[in-house]
Structure 1
């Protein structure tokens, strides 16, 4: 069995299509198909249901996937640790962050930490939550900054990763105002007409959060999805154009709300049923990292503890809405 077969397997899981997965792996489709077949021959059973479109995992494939994820991650981690052993004093900090937080939270958070200690060189990869998770699993980023909610599980399991709450945010249901300044699209009890919905795609962490929250607390209003994107900034632009209702991070739309180019879609205005409180978390692998990365983690945790001690009210509001088994702690396993 070749390690590259596991990369092929995970590419097909992500793409759901042999042609796109082959392109992603820089292979011809026949060559890619032969490698998937070779992996299945090695496993002794089909791992994919080819009769479905997109291609889906068989039960055997679903059982195999976590082992493939972990094997690839650990091998890449082993390679990374070998490199770090040779360059133990490497000072560059490698971050992955979702698009919205890269634009809003990351710069000010970093500035506050730099006021406490010198950080050195930093690289930031800004992408969707799904892409950021892949960077972490591949060992290509040391830290992930993302929105989180206790109800929404991700691919970074507690056995291999840990996290700390470094801030709070809210996903607000917003829309453009009409000429009188009222919500153009109204979330209210008794409204039976489906509202045009500007939705997040499945690559988005906020889309994952909203889906999980709605499974626990269904909306009373029907939504008609008219546009989908993994970028909150794109949904913000369309919401300002009056195209529908979007749940957007307050950190991203604070100026729009102040200027009145976006207004809360729910009524009455103070009704928080349409609001989803979320955490901002810093995630890292459990495995020991470079000296610079370990020093940064200590600094970030200390700053988070200081922040929560100085602003207990703000800290309380940063914790996402209660769900079974969730604890409002500063540092928590994913």
Structure 2
């Protein structure tokens, strides 16, 4: 076995530094709290690993050879980097253990989640928080892969998602509604929609994609209305899984979109969006918080307990 293939003990490196500092085998061994014969063997083993002598033993005190002088600063840098790597790794572990990791659907990450989180932070010291905003399908994937502790999304009792089927614990935080809305008629009577459901001609609809949890709910609750190829009252003209994108298109007059009331409260108040149908076209939904089934970090468990307690205390 050549010198470069010998196993290296990191203790030898610390022994080398002690001897380089003191120049005396006895004092260096004492500083390292090991017997001098064992200390001397460590130094010799390190020299065997390097392949050259690092100390001139004929000198008093022992002096570094040219190779040892070259080895010393590089070794100090290596050991400093190793210590920094250890500290950073432990810090990353502590951060991951203490932080809260949420996945939230696009629309709730913009509307409900910030306000709800402020309320939680007023009651709990939460520490670092990581939030990923994506489609409902992607959020479910993150939970199933154990990459997040919580998922915030819309849901419906009659339209179970994958987290419901896998029996993940769920807390119903609030209620919401999907309202069919349209841009108002330009120059017409106040509150009259540009596109209205119930007209004889098919109404252009801005629909949610398959990746959207709201789309899954809409298709299940209005089966037949959105059936492909059906001669129904609507014609899908655009599809996306971003409710905010559908809202923008609806405001531009492109069609009717079923949007969460929590998203369009301001637009309904100012009249830039108006109801495109009666109450029988509304779809009630829930704002839900799902959690991992396994035990989580103490701060995550505390947040879950507080969320459940707040819901239970509501009239």
TM-score category by the smaller chain? 0.5 to 0.7
> Could you tell which deviates more after superposition, 231-240 or 280-289?
280-289
2:30 maps to which residue? none
Shift of 1:90: 2.1
1:116 to 2:127 alignment: no
The 1-side partners of 2:96 and 2:303 are apart by 13
* Structure 2 counterpart of 1:209, from 185, 210, 217: 217
Q: Residues 107 and 263 of structure 2 are in contact (CA less than 8 Å); yes or no, is this contact kept in structure 1?
A: yes
> Could you tell which deviates more after superposition, 109-118 or 231-240?
109-118
Query: 1:278-331, CA deviations, whole angstroms, 9 ceiling, x for partnerless residues?
Result: 11000012111112211111111111112x23xxxxxxxxxxxxxxxxxxxxxx
1:155 maps to which residue? 162
Local SS of the residue matching 2:244:
helix
The 2-side partners of 1:150 and 1:287 are apart by 24
1:255 maps to which residue? 266
The 2-side partners of 1:168 and 1:245 are apart by 22
Q: Residues 202 and 234 of structure 2 are in contact (CA less than 8 Å); yes or no, is this contact kept in structure 1?
A: yes
- Length-normalised TM-score, structure 1: 0.62
Shift of 1:212: 1.0
The alpha-carbon distance between structure 1 residues 216 and 161, as it changes in their structure 2 partners (threshold 3 A), is farther
Q: Residues 176 and 261 of structure 2 are in contact (CA less than 8 Å); yes or no, is this contact kept in structure 1?
A: yes
Q: Residues 163 and 281 of structure 1 are in contact (CA less than 8 Å); yes or no, is this contact kept in structure 2?
A: yes
The 1-side partners of 2:166 and 2:137 are apart by 19
* Structure 2 counterpart of 1:185, from 195, 204, 207: 195
Q: Residues 146 and 281 of structure 1 are in contact (CA less than 8 Å); yes or no, is this contact kept in structure 2?
A: yes
Shift of 1:215: 2.6
The 1-side partners of 2:130 and 2:294 are apart by 20
The 1-side partners of 2:97 and 2:300 are apart by 9
Query: 1:159-191, CA deviations, whole angstroms, 9 ceiling, x for partnerless residues?
Result: 441101011111000000012131111113xx2
> Could you tell which deviates more after superposition, 215-224 or 124-133?
215-224
The alpha-carbon distance between structure 1 residues 205 and 159, as it changes in their structure 2 partners (threshold 3 A), is closer
2:208 maps to which residue? 200
For residues 125-274 of structure 1, the aligned pairs below 5 Å read 125-178=132-185, 179-180=187-188, 181=190, 182-188=192-198, 191-215=199-223, 222-266=233-277, 271-274=278-281
Structure 2: which 5+ residue stretches go unaligned? 1-89
Query: 1:240-285, CA deviations, whole angstroms, 9 ceiling, x for partnerless residues?
Result: 000000000011111111111000001xxxx310111111000012
Aligned residue-pair number: 218
The 2-side partners of 1:231 and 1:187 are apart by 22
Could you say what the CA RMSD is over the residues aligned between the two structures, in angstroms? 2.2
The 1-side partners of 2:96 and 2:113 are apart by 25
